[in-house]
């Protein structure tokens, strides 16, 4: 029996309770969590913006130590430190055949599985495959990535989602080039990662945008050269900061129609807007045909930073070891499992960066 945060039904409060984990089966590993990040996607799952089978143990951004392995598992032994990979690619679907593993149609198929049971025998599903809001979890070996040397295990949890997503949005999706100007909308865990990535990419002007004035210090520490408190004048302010042209690249990490539209309006003619934030179906973004022609801007979605975790994790580790990427600075609160509901409330209120559950 291990303690976990269980979502009993969509829209219901999380329950901190004991669950029964089985021994790992063929191709599976059991991992003792060192830490798990509280991501906005977990909030989206709990309120029904994104759908998963319930009851479920949420949490998809985590790192820990292998406790035991099932039959057929090779190359991974008890004692190994790993980062959880919540979106493993199948390697055989059309997207995977094109090398676009972040679009794998089978990546979340494991969320429908029964992976554990509650104390009363109720079947539990593993949220986004990995069920990281628990002291331990059992996952397919494909849901683990070996942690490169020299990375603190607790901080490594952030690599599993926030950092891969923010870094990938800048380097893979938007393909920011040295000297370009960048605006990042939303200074949470992903936004802070995107700011650091823009700095690493050699962006000249880096504008952070958020509704909270209190996040300016966090944003500037991550690499922002300018800070704008979101308002109806945001696009105009950003153009004023960039010689009235607008930025080359806008990265939207909020997932709201008004923010997406503002990010698009903040780019120069021919600029690029990458949407990372996950919005609801009710968030409708509109454009007229003439402005699409006139501005010549590009608007594109971005899934998991368009990353291949197996390829990109060692790259990120290199940046961490070289001091270019600071994982600890993304964390504004370290909590226990019981602190998850308050972390959700802080997200909704626009407070802080990443909350990290430390076991």
Cβ burial, residue 336 (10 Å; 0-12/13-18/19+): exposed
**At residue 253, does pLDDT exceed 90?**
yes
Average pLDDT of the chain is: 96
Alpha-carbon gap, residue 64 to 80, rounded angstroms: 8
Q: Is the pLDDT of residue 350 over 90?
A: no
What pLDDT does 313 receive? Answer: 97
Query: DSSP string of 267-329?
Result: EEEEEEEEE-S---TT------HHHHHHH--EEEE-SGGG--HHHHHHHHHHHHHTTS--SGG
Cis peptide before 351 (omega within 30 of 0): no
User: What pLDDT does residue 124 have?
Assistant: 97
Predicted confidence at residue 48, as pLDDT, reads 85
Residue 61 bridge partners (DSSP): 37
Residue 359 CB neighbour total at 10 angstroms: 17
Model-level pTM greater than 0.85? yes
pLDDT tens track for 85-116: 999 999 999 999 999 999 999 999 999 999 99
The confidence score (pLDDT) of residue 51 equals 84
pLDDT on residue 111: 92
Q: Please tell me whether residue 356 adopts helix, strand or coil conformation.
A: strand
pLDDT category of residue 50 using cuts at 50, 70 and 90? confident
Read off the pLDDT of residues 174-192 as tens digits, 9 standing for 90 and up.
999 999 999 999 999 999 9
What integer pLDDT is reported at residue 49 of this predicted model?
85
Q: How confident is the model at residue 53 (pLDDT cuts 50, 70, 90)?
A: very high
Segment 214-244, tens digit of pLDDT: 999 999 999 999 999 999 999 999 999 999 9
pLDDT at 52: 85
Residues composing the chain: 359
**Beta strands of the chain (E only): which ranges?**
2-7, 15-20, 28-38, 56-57, 61-69, 81-84, 116-118, 123-124, 136-140, 144-146, 182-185, 206-210, 226-229, 247-252, 267-275, 298-301, 331-335, 354-358
């Amino acid at each position: 029996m291990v303690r976990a945060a269980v979502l009993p039904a969509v829209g219901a409060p999380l329950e901190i309770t004991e669950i029964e984990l089985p021994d790992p089966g063929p191709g599976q590993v059991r991992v003792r969590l060192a830490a798990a990040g509280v991501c906005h996607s977990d909030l989206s799952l709990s309120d029904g913006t994104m759908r998963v089978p319930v009851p479920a143990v949420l949490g998809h951004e985590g790192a820990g130590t292998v406790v035991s392995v099932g039959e057929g598992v090779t190359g991974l032994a008890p004692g190994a430190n790993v980062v959880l990979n919540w979106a493993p690619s199948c390697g055989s679907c059309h997207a995977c055949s094109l090398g676009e593993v972040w679009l794998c149609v089978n990546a979340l198929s494991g969320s429908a599985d029964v992976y554990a049971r509650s104390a009363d025998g109720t079947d539990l599903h593993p949220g986004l495959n990995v069920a990281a809001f628990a002291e331990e979890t059992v996952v397919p070996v494909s849901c683990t990535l070996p942690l490169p040397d020299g990375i603190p295990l607790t901080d490594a949890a952030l690599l599993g989602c926030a950092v891969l997503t923010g870094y990938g949005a800048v380097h893979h999706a938007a393909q920011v080039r040295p000297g370009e100007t960048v605006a990042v909308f939303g200074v949470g865990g992903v936004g802070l990662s995107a700011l650091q990535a823009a700095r690493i990419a050699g962006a000249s002007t880096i504008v952070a945008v958020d509704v909270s004035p209190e996040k300016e210090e966090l944003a500037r520490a991550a690499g922002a050269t300018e800070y704008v408190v979101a308002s109806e004048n945001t696009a105009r302010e950003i153009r004023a900061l960039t010689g009235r042209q607008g930025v080359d690249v806008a990265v939207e990490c909020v997932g709201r129609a008004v923010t997406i539209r503002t990010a698009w309006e903040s780019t120069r003619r021919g600029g690029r807007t990458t949407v990372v934030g996950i919005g609801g179906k009710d968030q409708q973004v509109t454009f007229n045909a003439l402005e699409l022609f006139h501005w010549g801007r590009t608007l594109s979605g971005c899934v998991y930073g368009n990353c291949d975790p197996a390829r990109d994790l060692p790259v990120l580790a290199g940046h961490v070891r070289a001091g270019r990427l600071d994982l600890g600075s993304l964390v504004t609160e370290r909590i226990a499992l019981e602190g998850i509901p308050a972390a959700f409330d802080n997200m909704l209120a626009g407070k802080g960066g990443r909350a990290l559950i430390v076991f």
